[in-house]
Amino acid sequence: MSCSCEGAIKLPPNVTIPGIFAFGDSIVDQGNNNAIKTLVKCNFPPYGKDFGGGIPTGRFGNGKTPPDLIAAELGIKELIPAYLDPNLKAQDLPTGVSFASGGCGYDPQTSQLVSVTSLSSQLDQFKEYIKKLKGAIGEESANKILSNSIHMVVAGSDDLANTYFTIGIRREQYDISSYADLMVSSASTFIQELYQLGARRIPVFGIPPIGCLPSQRTLAGGSIRVCAEQYNQAAQIVNSKLSAAIDSLTQSLPRSRVVYIDIYNPLLELIQHPQNYGFEVSDRGCCGTGNFEVVILCNKYSGTCPDDSKYIFWDSYHPTEKAYKVLIDQILQKYINKFL
């Protein structure tokens, strides 16, 4: 679907961003998990309630997700499709697709635990995609698209929230600092592999304040469901190591624009002061009780809140389209010039 919109962000005349590509987890999974055998999927109501025609697409929310919103703001197209979408057409390829898989993480064990597509398998799909792109438009045009497009990397929340804290296998082997090293080492390798395949503009999103996600408040926030401080501290430890690693990658990869994107502080600000941004509810999701419902637990029997535009979270883990929009607007304003 091409974009009838004029992008809200005006790029300098000599700059083009032809496509948006996404790698990582459910924040940027546009429906890839529909095509694999896993419980981590949401291609059923009430997911997609505010998506055109109320159709569940496999996006983990009520409507559009960050890749869609960024593509529209840059005037590229309205929606970024999933690479594994059976209806994907050749004309969708040049403007970008998502390879992300909900439940995936930097730690290879994270995707294994829930049978989803690992980052290394997402890279294999990207290689397959590049072959198709070169076949469709020729090597030179394909290389231009790869080097000028945005390649979003969004992962790490599931490593901490699921693999480390909830399931806890890794806690027997690592303290949080050494687990953060494992995550960051894997992230660095992944970024270098993307670079070797031709990607140059690579925003890498930090970990959000996972202790304030409704599900983590329920699991670890005590009877009054406060933010789980230990989880937030873990996110901050990973973020400081990740941003340092990205700084050194930018130095060592010629002509690269690898940029650490702070999502921790903008989302925490939104959660702590919802009324400043037109929201009312920040400690639970809109689906069901909002305390624990996510993926198969958020379904047509759950019921939803009367007005999801008042909620920061759609389910107990994923923000609403409106919250994404607030965050993406802030991120584009702050970081877009670093990619030019």
Contact residues for 244 (Cβ-Cβ < 8 A; gap 6+): none
- The 3-class secondary structure across the chain, one letter per residue, is CECCCCCCCCCCCCCCCCCEEEEECCCCCCCHHHHCCCCCCCCCCCCCCCCHHHCCCCCCCCCCCHHHHHHHHCCCECCCCECCCCCCCHHHHHHCCECCCCCCCCCHHHHHHCCCCCHHHHHHHHHHHHHHHHHHHCHHHHHHHHHHCEEEEECCHHHHHHHHHHHCCHHHCCCHHHHHHHHHHHHHHHHHHHHHCCCCEEEEECCCCHHHCHHHHHHHCCCCCCCCHHHHHHHHHHHHHHHHHHHHHHHHCCCCEEEEECCHHHHHHHHHCHHHHCCCEEEEECECCCCCCCHHHCCCCCCECCCHHHEEECCCCCECHHHHHHHHHHHHHHHHHHHC
Whether 316 is catalytic: no
Label the pairing between strands 20-24 and 257-261. unpaired
Beta-bridge partners for 242:
none
The answer to whether 170 and 109 have CB atoms below 8 angstroms apart is yes
Q: Which residue has the tokens 């929230």?
A: 161
CA gap 30, 64 in Å, rounded:
9
The catalytically annotated residue of 101, 188, 315, 316 is 315
Whether 243 is catalytic: no
The catalytically annotated residue of 25, 26, 92, 149 is 26
Residue 288, classified by CB atoms within 10 Å of its CB into exposed (0-12), middle (13-18) or buried (19+), is buried
Q: Which residues are catalytic?
A: 26, 315, 318
